[in-house]
Amino acid sequence: MAREVHGPDFDSSSEDIDGEIVMRVGGGKKHGRYWIGDGVINTASTATLSQIQARSTDSSPAIRLRPTIGQFQMEALQAQVEAARKQQEEMAARMEQMVQRRLEAERQRMEEENRMRMDQMFQYMQNFASSMGQSLPPPSMLFPPPQPPTTTPNQSAASNNEDQDLSQWSPWPPWI
């Protein structure tokens, strides 16, 4: 506030304490004491809070209420709560990323396992058909390549699969 009143070049370390500014910042004298600099300020030459209020205009610096211990404690508590909330959000984001990575790894593992089973099944069918003097079409015709998962942004793959119409699906190739 001293820079607001005296200009941006005001140096509080080399200038005297302005009693009126202390009165404005501290909301007057509480219990007969200034908020800061009580022993340094000349009380005889400093106007009272009511005198300062009487001569204040809209362009004068505002008279502030002196913060209480409870306000300081409340601000500190709010800062702690905000820090804890931010930490919790960061942890939740890290957990979500970890879950997504694990789900993707599990999906890839299952696709590979299914591909191996299908290859084994095709090999068995090919051996069986050749023992009967028949031949099978290539595996790409029997087993089409897997489709990439189609999920919407706020929907999991599991819930997306629940909505699919499987009434036309057949486990058999179309020529059987």
Segment 102-125, tens digit of pLDDT: 999 999 999 999 989 988 888 888
User: Is 89 found in the same domain as 22?
Assistant: no
Q: Are 41 and 22 in contact (CB under 8 A)?
A: yes
User: Is 91 found in the same domain as 29?
Assistant: no
Does a structural domain hold residue 170?
A: no
Does a structural domain hold residue 162?
A: no
Does a structural domain hold residue 159?
A: no
User: Is 74 found in the same domain as 43?
Assistant: no
Q: In this predicted model, which residue has the larger pLDDT, 16 or 131?
A: 131
The whole-model pTM stands at 0.37
Number of structural domains the chain divides into? 2
User: Is 104 found in the same domain as 131?
Assistant: yes
User: Is 51 found in the same domain as 84?
Assistant: no
Confidence of residue 97 (pLDDT cuts 50, 70, 90): very high
User: Is 50 found in the same domain as 117?
Assistant: no
Q: What is the pLDDT of residues 7-44, one digit of tens each?
A: 788 777 777 777 777 777 777 777 677 766 666 776 66
User: Is 75 found in the same domain as 49?
Assistant: no
Across the range 84-112, mean pLDDT stands at: 95
User: 143: left (phi > 0), else alpha (psi -120 to 50), else beta?
Assistant: beta
Question: Where do runs of H (alpha helix) occur along 59-68?
Answer: none
Question: Where do runs of H (alpha helix) occur along 7-151?
Answer: 19-26, 49-55, 69-131, 139-142
Q: What is the pLDDT of residue 46?
A: 75
Give me the domain span that covers residue 100.
69-145
